[in-house]
Amino acid sequence: PLLCVLRTLLYPGPPSEPLRFVQEALRQHQIVFLGDIHPLAEPKLLVARLIREQGADQAIDLLALEVAAEQQEWIDRYLSSDPEDTRILLDHPRTLRAHWGISLEYLDIYRAVYQWNRGHPNQQIRVLAADLLGWPMTPLTPQMAARGFVNRDMRIATSFRGELQRHPDWRVLIFMGGYHGLKEVGGRVAIGRVQDRFERWFAGYLLDEGAEVYTILTDARQAVGHGATRVFDHLAGTSAGNFAVALDSTTDSIGDPLHDVKQDGFSLEFQPARFALRHAADAMVVLNRTAPIRLIHHRGDREH
């Protein structure tokens, strides 16, 4: 009994299977943000499975992806192709986030939408290329790179708000790198010797304008040996498998929940550094078991 009491005091509960958790989140919230981890397969597999197994009464209307806006034409052409022609996406690899590696898993998200739309002609899912035109850009100077970084989320949010205003009743799933889902927190970026600050991430700007976003971070152990968050480091040992959990006051004792990012010539610090993670995110998918994305190297890999 004492161990049960201690567990209740120290950990959120109870853990859920990730697919069931996200399904329930979409039942209860109109806009759900699910964080991607770009090199890993599991978040993409989760989205594809979510679409394939959704019920018609709880289906999403819009899937917003971290894909540059000028790729919308090719996404729309693929979704309207008959028979299905994945070459349209593969011939325009930015639809598949080529800068992270063209993967079978990311392609399968589109294929899941295509199959759903073919089976539900009166209940189509729209896929939105929600990122900035031309992103990722190739900056000419560190100043341009830093300014582009700090302005990016605000500009994405401005465009996305227009989409929400046009379709106020749509059920929305946003699938982007997890930091973009943070609310009530900003940061400082340094590229070379150039530094700049920003007040919010994408979901934070949406929240400031009155859009209620339910954020589910996804975290896993990285090459450095820990997760992107100290909350992951705290929770990962509670189960050997992958699970999802709503964040609550039991993790408030982790006062600096996000690990800063430091790479060659680049650093990212979160501001404020100390806050309760549940104020910036609502839930977390904890990935103890992961696999890398499977890259498509040759055209012969198209069909799978």
Predicted model pTM? 0.93
Segments in 135-275 forming alpha helices (H): 142-166, 202-208, 230-235
State the average pLDDT over residues 82-88: 98
Query: Do you know the residue count of the chain?
Result: 304
Provide the 3-class DSSP secondary structure of residue 279. Answer: helix
Nearest-CA neighbor of 212 among 20, 58, 28, 65?
28
Is residue 1's pLDDT more than 70? no
pLDDT digits (tens, 9 = 90+) for 155-172: 999 999 999 999 999 999
Query: What would the DSSP string read from start to end of 23-61?
Result: HHHHHH-SEEEEEE-TTBSHHHHHHHHHHHH--GGG--S
Least confident of 18-27, 112-121, 137-146: 137-146
